[in-house]
Amino acid sequence: MALGKKATAESAENKVSVRGKTEGDQKGKRKIKLPRFIRAIGAYFAGAWREIRQVRWPNRKATWSLTLAVLLFTLFWAIVILALDLLNQFIFNNVILK
């Protein structure tokens, strides 16, 4: 039993953290206290990065089909606006100015 407790104590002392340093190494270091707004900016970007990693990105085929849909939609509305502009110009030049 004494050997088991000793092995447990040694493993607890040499426990390695996520960054690869032992807990004993981390205890001796002092953390630099950053200003509050710097920490807020860091927290914002950390949260944004977490959200970006959770996004389910479309595959290449879906990306091209959506791009084509956006281009066709834009072209359609550009033609509609151009037609309305020409109609208003015709009405203004031939009806109102005469």
Q: What would the DSSP string read from start to end of the chain? A: -HHHHHHHHHHHHT-B-TTS-BHHHHHHSPPP---HHHHHHHHHHHHHHHHHHH-----HHHHHHHHHHHHHHHHHHHHHHHHHHHHHHHHIIIII--
Q: What is the pLDDT of residue 17?
A: 53
- Is the pTM higher than 0.75? The answer reads no
Q: Which pLDDT score is estimated for 51? A: 94
Read off the amino acid at residue 91.
I
pLDDT of residue 16: 53
At 35-89, the pLDDT tens digits run 888 999 999 999 999 999 999 999 999 999 999 999 999 999 999 999 999 999 9
What is the C-alpha R_g of the chain? 33
